[in-house]
């Protein structure tokens, strides 16, 4: 194989197939990588934009807390949920947030097992995003049950009533699926962070930080034995997490597919939901990564090549989602089922047609722009498209949940769902919770996987300077 120059710090978007684009720009030493990534953590004060974002997020989170309190004290009547649409915003929001939480594990686990080295720059905060999204998701079924103080009935705990949750119900499977997903994601995130926490500990500038990071670094010294065990553990956790990427949203889709409502009772739901989840997850990663790399000065690590790769994933999964929308219509017609056909015609042309067409425009049409290289390389356009995708994916869940419930078999029982201000503000408030956690994360924890990034630099390859097979196979 021809030897190519390994130093190509400028052209991060090289399309020369003989040479992979470098994953880290403008760095030739490990020390400068650490310093640059941790600069924002170790700065005395974060940038002004961080404070502004934090004040806004924290206020929204507080309003979420107040509204949940209002709900608990008053009852679920404060929401728009009512016969026949018993699953209003809470379930829409639950599915929306769980979906967002899918990119993290996909990036960390599946891309890890497939040796996709470009994942190293984005996996840490994608995992963090996953965990915070699942926290937001877990909130909604918890408060949707009405009597919040009995939320422990969701779990199969032996009790004097001799009463168990309905094991045949996908709602219970959900409890297990989301619970497992959260636990494994949290472990994966934390285990991966241990070497970087030790770095923060060793560079700490005061006693409090040294003890706090030191406690969570679990006495990491970076010995050969530590690394050996760490890498084993990480690999095992990746293997454990991989099936979860597919299983969790499949189970969430069962909430709908197992019931017998037209528009819900279809076998396409699990793959369609998983594709949608990865679609929305990557869109959210992009929405967060683009401003974060700008403000946190991470452009050398989250390069345009990374952004472009993620755009391609969004394009692929968006097309899969679009295919699923089309296939749903085809099956509705092909089945000859009058109720099924009605459900879909009603979605596109009925009382919620506006929501349906918002969904189609945002999810199917919007990402098709990523076919164009110029679009994939313009961060502003990407940022706007990903915001539209997030909007569209929320509307997808709204369309599925509300249209099928509002217009089922019997016209006499049809209804119209009207959210209340509490519904809307609770949803907006969940963004406050999400962003508050995320902002705390980028301020206090290593936002990129420092140790892993060093591993994908050409300098990590012992043969790098020998002039043969020039680069670490990035």
Partner 1 sequence: MGRYHFIFPRWSNLLLPAAVVAGMTAPLYVAFMVAFGFSPKSTDVGYQPVQPIPFSHAVHAGELGIDCRYCHNTVEVAAHAAIPPTQTCMNCHTQIHPESKLLEPLFHSYETGRPVEWVRIHDLPDYTYFNHSAHVMRGVSCVECHGRIDTMERVWQEHTLSMGWCLECHRNPAPHVRNPDLVTQLEWGWDMDAAERIAEGDRWLEINDLHPSQDCTTCHR
Min dist. Cβ of residue 216 to partner 1 (A): 11
How far are the Cα atoms of 70, 122, 455, 457 from residue 460, in angstroms, in the given order? Answer: 55, 19, 5, 6
443 in Cβ contact with 50 (< 8 Å): yes
Structure token pair of residue 8: 């190509």
Q: Which of 303, 374, 367, 372 is nearest to 118 (CA)?
A: 303
In angstroms, the CA 235 to CA 195 distance is 15
* Beta bridge partner(s), residue 85: 82
DSSP string of 404-431, one letter each residue: HHHS-S-GGG-------HHHHHHHHHHH
Min dist. Cβ of residue 157 to partner 1 (A): 12
Peptide bond just before 171 cis, omega within 30 deg: no
Interface pattern 248-287 for partner 1 (x via CB under 8 A): ----------------------------------------
In the DSSP assignment, the letter for residue 206 is: S
Nearest to partner 1 of 220, 417 (CB atom): 220
Q: Is 222 a residue that touches partner 1 (CB under 8 A)?
A: no
Q: Which of 238, 255, 389 is nearest to 311 (CA)?
A: 389
Buried b (16+ CB within 10 A) or exposed e, 454-473: bebbbbebeebeeeeebbbe
SS3 for 260-300 is CCCCCCCCCHHHHHHHHHHHHHHHHHHHHHHHHHHHCCCCC
Residue carrying the six token digits 């962003």 = 435
Helix pair 338-349, 304-334: axis angle to 10 deg: 130
Interface pattern 137-166 for partner 1 (x via CB under 8 A): ----------------------xxxxx---
Interface pattern 177-216 for partner 1 (x via CB under 8 A): ------------------------xxxxxxx-xxx-xx--
Q: Please count the other Cβ atoms lying within 10 Å of the Cβ belonging to residue 172.
A: 17
Nearest to partner 1 of 35, 345 (CB atom): 35
Residues 415-454 touching partner 1, rule: CB under 8 A, are none
Min dist. Cβ of residue 459 to partner 1 (A): 22
Q: Helix (H) and strand (E) counts for the chain?
A: 18, 0
Q: Is 219 a residue that touches partner 1 (CB under 8 A)?
A: yes
Interface pattern 100-139 for partner 1 (x via CB under 8 A): ----------------------------------------
Nearest to partner 1 of 69, 219 (CB atom): 219
Nearest to partner 1 of 229, 373 (CB atom): 229
Min dist. Cβ of residue 161 to partner 1 (A): 4
- Residues that bind partner 1 (rule: CB under 8 A) add up to a total of 18
Nearest to partner 1 of 124, 201 (CB atom): 201
Nearest to partner 1 of 55, 157 (CB atom): 157
Nearest to partner 1 of 170, 214 (CB atom): 214
Residue carrying the six token digits 């819900």 = 264
Min dist. Cβ of residue 441 to partner 1 (A): 21
List, as own/partner pairs, every contact residues 354-358 make where C-beta atoms lie below 8 angstroms and the sequence separation is at least 24, other chains included: 355/395, 355/398, 355/399, 355/402, 355/403, 356/395, 356/399, 356/403, 358/391, 358/392, 358/395
Nearest to partner 1 of 166, 412 (CB atom): 166
377 in Cβ contact with 329 (< 8 Å): no
Nearest to partner 1 of 45, 221 (CB atom): 221
Min dist. Cβ of residue 192 to partner 1 (A): 21
Min dist. Cβ of residue 219 to partner 1 (A): 5
Nearest to partner 1 of 210, 331 (CB atom): 210
Q: Is 44 a residue that touches partner 1 (CB under 8 A)?
A: no
Min dist. Cβ of residue 23 to partner 1 (A): 28
Q: Please count the other Cβ atoms lying within 10 Å of the Cβ belonging to residue 316.
A: 16
Min dist. Cβ of residue 220 to partner 1 (A): 11
Nearest to partner 1 of 157, 460 (CB atom): 157
Min dist. Cβ of residue 473 to partner 1 (A): 33
Min dist. Cβ of residue 197 to partner 1 (A): 11
- What are the residues binding partner 1 (CB under 8 A)? 159-163, 201-207, 209-211, 213-214, 219
């Amino acid at each position: 194989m021809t030897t190519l120059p390994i130093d190509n710090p400028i052209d991060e978007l090289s399309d020369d197939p003989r040479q992979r684009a470098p994953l880290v720009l403008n760095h030739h030493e490990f020390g400068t990588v650490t310093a640059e990534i941790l600069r924002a953590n170790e700065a005395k004060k974060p940038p002004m934009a961080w404070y502004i974002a934090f004040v806004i997020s924290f206020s929204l989170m507080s309003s979420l807390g107040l509204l949940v309190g209002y709900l608990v004290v008053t009852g679920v009547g404060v929401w728009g949920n009512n016969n026949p649409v018993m699953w209003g915003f809470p379930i829409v929001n639950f599915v929306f947030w769980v979906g967002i939480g899918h990119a993290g594990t996909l990036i960390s686990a599946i891309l890890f097992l497939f040796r996709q080295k470009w994942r190293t720059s984005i996996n840490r905060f994608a995992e963090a995003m996953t965990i915070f999204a699942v926290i937001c998701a877990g909130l909604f079924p918890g408060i949707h049950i009405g009597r919040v103080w009995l939320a422990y009935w969701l779990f199969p705990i032996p009790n004097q009533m001799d009463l168990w949750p309905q094991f045949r119900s996908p709602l219970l499977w959900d409890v297990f699926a989301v619970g497992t997903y959260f636990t494994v994601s949290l472990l994966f995130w934390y285990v991966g962070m241990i070497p970087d926490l030790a770095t923060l500990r060793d560079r700490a500038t005061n006693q409090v930080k040294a003890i706090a990071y030191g406690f969570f670094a679990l006495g990491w010294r970076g010995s050969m034995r530590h690394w050996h065990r760490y890498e084993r553990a990480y690999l095992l956790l990746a293997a454990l997490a991989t099936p979860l990427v597919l299983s969790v949203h499949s189970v969430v889709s069962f909430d709908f597919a197992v019931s017998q409502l037209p528009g819900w009772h279809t076998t396409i739901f699990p793959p369609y939901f998983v594709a949608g989840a990865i679609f929305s997850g990557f869109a959210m990663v992009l929405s967060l990564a683009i401003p974060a790399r700008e403000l946190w000065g991470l452009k050398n690590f989250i390069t345009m090549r990374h952004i472009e790769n993620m755009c391609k994933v969004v394009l692929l999964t968006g097309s899969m989602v679009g295919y699923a929308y089309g296939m749903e219509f085809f099956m509705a017609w092909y089945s000859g089922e009058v109720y099924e056909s009605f459900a879909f015609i009603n979605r596109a042309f009925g009382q919620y047609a506006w929501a349906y067409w918002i969904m189609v425009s945002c999810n199917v049409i919007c990402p098709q722009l990523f076919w164009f290289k110029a679009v994939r390389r313009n961060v502003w356009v990407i940022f706007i498209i990903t915001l539209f995708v997030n909007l569209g994916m929320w509307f997808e869940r709204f369309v599925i949940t509300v249209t099928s419930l509002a217009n089922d078999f019997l016209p006499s029982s049809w209804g119209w769902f009207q959210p209340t201000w509490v519904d809307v503000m609770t949803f907006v408030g969940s963004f406050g919770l999400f962003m508050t956690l995320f902002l705390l994360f980028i301020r206090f924890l290593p936002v990129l996987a420092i140790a892993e990034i060093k591993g994908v630099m050409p300098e990590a390859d012992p043969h790098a300077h020998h002039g043969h097979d020039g680069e670490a196979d990035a």
